[in-house]
Amino acid sequence: MKLNKFTSALMFAGICAAAGAQAADDRYIIQVDNNKKGVVKALAKQLGAQLHVDGDGFIAATFSGKDLSQVKGLLNNPHVKLVEQDFKRAPMAIYNDDAGDAMTQQLTPYAVYQSQANQVTFNANAGMKVCVIDSGLDSSNPDFIWGNITGDNDSGTGNWYDHGGPHGTHVAGTIGAADNNIGVVGMAPGVDMHIIKVFNAEGWGYSSDLAHAANLCSQAGANIISMSLGGGGSNNTESNAFANFNAAGGLVIAAAGNDGNDVRSYPAGYPSVMMIGANDANNQIADFSQFPSCASGRGKNATEDETICVEVTAGGVDTLSTYPAGMATSANLNVDGNVVASSAMENSGTVTGSLFFMGTAEATDAGANGKVCLIDRGNISFHDKVANCEASGGIGAIIVNNEAGMLYGTLGDTNSTSIPAVGAALEDRATLMAASTATVNIGTSDYGFMSGTSMATPAVSGVAALVWSNHPECTGQEIRAALKATAEDAGAAGKDVYFGYGIVKAADADAYLTANGCSGGDNGGNPGEGSISLSVSGYKQKGSNFADLNWQGASTSQVDIYRNGSNIVTTANDNSYTDSISGKGGGSYIYQVCEQGSTTVCSDTQTVVF
């Protein structure tokens, strides 16, 4: 991707990751009694500190050149409860070339269909409000019901309605873009939103900013906090702020992260926050989606805690949503009068001409003169293919993927071509090969594509608002449980670290709450679990490890037994089984029992540690 397509803040957001948003060396949070805050602020200023956030029960300040131990020593005061590092928090999104044109008609993003959001009607009278903590919202985009949107600014970030790059606008559109015949439609169309702009011009904020924002969300009457952001390091003040929002009946949702590893990012890693992973349109996990372990503690004290790892996923790969005005790039491809899906590669403009097939375009061909080149992917770079087309007199280029799905790509940082070039899906190759004429258009748009757990998070936030609007008597934690209870199992059978309980399903969650009430059904609100109860005990014998499984409630003649997500045996349903684990040494093993052939009628998971 050519980075000059985006602002500097976006470039930072595109490459940020959990490990990349570390604590500032000299910025700290000081917890203090509110009635003694003035004394502590005065002391901090006297010590040369620069104050940043004046929050409920805390302040944030920079002590230039001083480490944590030095600041603790300087603030050895009876009114100071705690001094801790103030960690950076940054937006989590990676970027793909923009594709599609929603300027003249309303398009439904694939994640809406995938999550069943189109099957549930949003109840606008339920009083749902989603608090979006991000980079602000572009006030010029017409795809929002602006009378339903309020906001706050954090210190130094500017007006909440002046965007700090497309990230916040894209997120907000996924949650609540209006159903108004233009642009896109959100998961909960027209839902009330409160926007808090926390990212500065460099594209990041701090954990103190998030703690303060949580309080502002509460004051605004929000039911849900949505955060497509994160960074390294756990922070007591930040954690407490979200725990308090939860305790008041709210729901907090945050992105797992985009490094594709098992690092735990915060705030998603706090137990009070629902961690969200990303899947693609084919129900496959996104390769960038982080997957931290659910294990808490070590050795014999290790336990499974599903609140500190991915709980559910939603569409987060190449998702279409709102952008600040004219900041996205749109591609339109029309062949023989029919629209064909395409993605923008490079070079704005509109051309119409006869189609000429150039194969893989590894050489110039005079037959392309005055025509639109149709080119197969492979062998040489995209840039060289388009360059050969242009050198042959071609006026535009269409490069067709050589594997299933849309071709997303650019012509490189040293692009020397000038003709508009788009990518196309392999599935449309036959249509393109049979066509006579084509019109290729690349221009600016108010709608574009992004990828990341940043995009999956607002999808779940919007689904939560949608479902909750039809069951306003429930608490946030009951909605959280219902979303997990009805998620579509994906990946390994049962709960796993990549998908958690699976892909969110709005209609199924709505039906579940209608049938069972807020407290859930026979499975106690535990996702994917039936009425099977399981206990597991582990022991060593003559140097080998064994696990005795005992269960009740399965109705099939045989059951499937899973260890660490893999089916290790199908055995008689006689309510007991002993698993012998080969190899020496210790380890942690997660067991689950399911009715034969089922991935939904299962026990909860049980863990043994040797």
Q: Is residue 586 scored above 70 in pLDDT?
A: no
Residue 530 has pLDDT above 50, yes or no: no
CA dist list (Å): 55 to 152, 207, 209, 211, 216: 14, 12, 9, 8, 10
pLDDT of residue 300: 62
Centre a 10 Å sphere on the Cβ of residue 67 and count the other Cβ atoms it contains. 12
Annotated active-site residue in 86, 97, 101, 134: 134
Residue 574 or 276, more confident: 276
d(CA 53, CA 61): 7
Residue 134 falls in the annotated catalytic set: yes
Least confident of 87-101, 375-389, 550-564, 576-590: 87-101
- Based on DSSP, count helices (H) and strands (E) in the chain, helices before strands: 12, 34
pLDDT in tens, 165-195: 899 999 999 999 999 988 999 999 999 999 9
For residues 228 and 134, the answer to whether their CB atoms sit within 8 Å is yes
- Residue for token pair 């019901």: 145
Least confident of 264-278, 511-525, 551-565: 511-525
Is the pLDDT at 244 greater than 70, yes or no?
yes
Contacts of residue 37, defined as CB under 8 A and 6 or more positions apart, other chains included, come to: 54, 59
Side-chain-side CA neighbours of 492 within 13 Å: the count stands at: 16
Q: Which tokens in the block code for residue 269?
A: 């890693």
CA angle 257, 261, 266 (to 5 degrees): 35
CB within 8 Å of 461: residues ≥ 6 apart: 130, 132, 175, 187, 224, 226, 253
Confidence grade of residue 155 (pLDDT, cut at 50, 70, 90): low
pLDDT of residue 127: 95
Q: What is the mean pLDDT of residues 463-477?
A: 97
Q: Which is it for the CA torsion 484, 485, 490, 491, positive or negative?
A: positive
Question: What's the average model confidence in pLDDT over 417-441?
Answer: 94
Give whole-number Cα distances, 185 to 12, 63, 317, 468, 525, in Å: 28, 46, 17, 18, 30
Output phi, psi for 5, to 5 deg.
-75, -15
Closest CA to 228 of 373, 92, 328: 92
Residue 71 and residue 83 in contact, taking contact as beta carbons nearer than 8 Å:
yes
In the predicted model, is pLDDT for residue 5 greater than 60? Answer: no
Share of the chain above pLDDT 90, in %: 64
Among 2-11, 366-375, 399-408, 449-458, which is the least confidently predicted range?
Answer: 2-11
CA–CA dist 546, 583 (Å, integer)? 11
Alpha-carbon Rg for the chain in angstroms: 26
Closest CA to 405 of 372, 435, 429: 429
Of 196, 210, 203, 193, nearest to 164 (Cα)? Answer: 203
Q: Is the pLDDT of residue 292 over 80?
A: yes
Whether pLDDT at 9 is above 70: no
User: pLDDT at position 381, please?
Assistant: 93
Q: Among residues 97, 101, 152, 167, which one is catalytic?
A: 167
In this prediction, residue 7 carries a pLDDT of 28
Task: Find where tokens 């303060």 sit.
Answer: 212
DSSP-derived letter for residue 182 is S
Neighbours of 297 (CB within 10 A): 11
Give the number of C-alpha atoms closer than 13 A to the C-alpha of residue 392, restricted to the C-beta side.
25
pLDDT-derived band at 536, boundaries 50, 70, 90: confident
Residue 17 has pLDDT above 50, yes or no: no
Q: How far is it, in rounded angstroms, from Cα 157 to Cα 533?
A: 52
Give 33's Cβ-side CA count (13 Å radius): 6
Specify the range with the lowest mean pLDDT, choosing from 61-75, 328-342, 483-497. 328-342
Average pLDDT over every residue of 438-448: 90
pLDDT at position 99: 38
Per the model's pLDDT, the better-predicted residue between 304 and 77 turns out to be 77
Is 167 in the active site?
Answer: yes
Structure token digits, residue 194: 């409160």
Contact in structure between 1 and 95 (CB atoms under 8 Å) = yes
Please state, in angstroms and rounded to a whole number, the distance separating the CA atoms of residues 136 and 153. Answer: 9
Contacts within 8 Å (CB) and 24+ apart, 239-243: 239/266, 239/267, 239/270, 239/272, 240/211, 241/210, 241/211, 241/212, 241/214, 241/215, 242/214, 242/267, 242/270, 242/272, 242/273, 243/270, 243/271, 243/272
* pLDDT at residue 201 in the model: 67
The residues with which 51 forms a beta bridge, in sequence order, are 61
Q: Which tokens go with 366?
A: 């005079």
Task: Please compute the mean of the pLDDT values over residues 150-179 and round it to a whole number.
Answer: 90
pLDDT tens digits, residue range 20-71? 333 447 899 999 999 999 999 999 999 999 999 999 999 999 999 999 999 9
Assigned token pair, 587: 């380890």
Write down the residue that tokens 């790969």 correspond to.
317
The length of the chain, given as a count of residues: 610
Helices of type H across 19-94 = 37-46, 68-74
Confidence band of 552 (pLDDT split at 50, 70, 90): confident
Mean pLDDT, residues 572-580 taken together: 91
Average pLDDT of the chain, as a whole number: 87
**Could you tell me the two tokens for 608?**
């043994």
| Interval 601-610 mean pLDDT | 81
Whether 506 has a pLDDT exceeding 60, the answer reads yes
Q: State the pLDDT at residue 526.
A: 41
Phi and psi, residue 131, nearest 5°: -95, 115
Higher pLDDT, 452 or 4: 452
Q: Which of 289, 454, 461, 598 is catalytic?
A: 454
Residue-by-residue DSSP string for 350-411: EEEEEEEE-TT--S--GGGTTSEEEEE--SS-HHHHHHHHHHTT-SEEEEE-SSSS------
Is a pLDDT exceeding 50 seen at residue 213?
yes
What's the Cα-to-Cα distance from 232 to each of 23, 94, 294, rounded to whole Å?
A: 7, 18, 17
Beta strands 328-335; 338-340: pairing state: antiparallel
What pLDDT score does 15 carry? Answer: 26
- Does 454 participate in catalysis according to the annotation? yes
What pLDDT is stored for residue 309 in this prediction? 95
Q: Please name the residues in contact with 337: beta carbons below 8 A apart, sequence gap of 6 or more.
A: none
More confident residue, 399 or 522: 399
pLDDT value of position 70? 93
What does the alpha-carbon distance between residue 26 and residue 242 come to, in Å, rounded to a whole number?
24
Peptide bond into 142 cis (omega under 30): no
Instruction: For the beta carbon of residue 60, count every other beta carbon within 10 angstroms.
Output: 24
| Pick from 5-14, 287-296, 534-543: least confident | 5-14
